[in-house]
A and B are shown apart, each in its own frame.
Chain A
Amino acid sequence: GENVEQHPSTLSVQEGDSAVIKCTYSDSASNYFPWYKQELGKRPQLIIDIRSNVGEKKDQRIAVTLNKTAKHFSLHITETQPEDSAVYFCAANTGGFKTIFGAGTRLFVKA
């Protein structure tokens, strides 16, 4: 079945630095790749998503890139701020109804 691997599991950066989180997926039919942010004690919330007909998408300080050939997609956060500290989940969906999430990356931004 579909599998999504996410790395690293923990990431610590200095405020102002960039952070990159990487995911790989196994099902070549996957065509929708969302990223969710979960702050401590809160629910996951979508921060950005990308579909398979697009290679890159940006929204202010965050961007997502997709390499369909290699089955990789990555989240890039620039100019990190303390409020970016959270757990980030990548996910893959095959255009149907099943969504497979990665195990999550805990990001610490040190002031």
Chain B
Amino acid sequence: EAQVTQNPRYLITVTGKKLTVTCSQNMNHEYMSWYRQDPGLGLRQIYYSMNVEVTDKGDVPEGYKVSRKEKRNFPLILESPSPNQTSLYFCASSWSTGDNEQFFGPGTRLTVL
């Protein structure tokens, strides 16, 4: 089954404790992206990746890191989480570029205390 998976689905952590949210897709998509969803603000793009070892900033990259060592995986790293990073996070993937349908993962709800 073609899908995008994320782990964990729910996470409660404390300020400053490094964490990683994993994202994996099995559709051989070149393009992957991370978004955060906050009430009244819609989906805001954090980082995206055009292919292996090629990443770039979206609109809200501060406080986040990403890596793309393999085509199927695109982890999101919060090196020192803060309460303002409490949000619902979605990973997405699509064929060659962002101007195609994006397939979203199930979401990760993160709470930083």
Contacts and interface: CB of A to CB of B under 8 A. Distances in A.
Interface of A: 1, 6, 9, 31-32, 34, 43-46, 49, 51, 89, 91, 93-104
B93 interface: no
B98 A89 contact: no
A95 B42 CA distance: 21
B31 A44 contact: no
Interface in B35-66: 35, 40-45, 48, 50, 56, 58-59
Nearest to A90: B42
B97 A96 contact: yes
A100 B97 contact: no
B101 A97 contact: no
B41 A103 contact: yes
Nearest to B31: A97
A81 B9 CA distance: 31
A107 to B, nearest CB: 15
- Interface bin, chain B: 20 to 34
A89 B99 contact: no
Given A89-B42, A99-B98, A100-B59, 17 more contacts: A6-B42, A31-B99, A32-B100, A43-B90, A44-B43, A91-B43, A94-B99, A95-B99, A96-B99, A97-B48, A97-B50, A97-B97, A98-B45, A98-B58, A98-B98, A99-B45, A101-B45
A47 B77 CA distance: 30
Contacts of B90: 43-44
A94 B105 CA distance: 23
A32 B95 CA distance: 14
A1 B61 CA distance: 15
Contacts of A94: 99
Given A45-B104, A98-B48, A93 B42 contact: no
A102 B42 contact: yes
Contacts of B75: none
Contacts of B81: none
Contacts of B97: 95-97
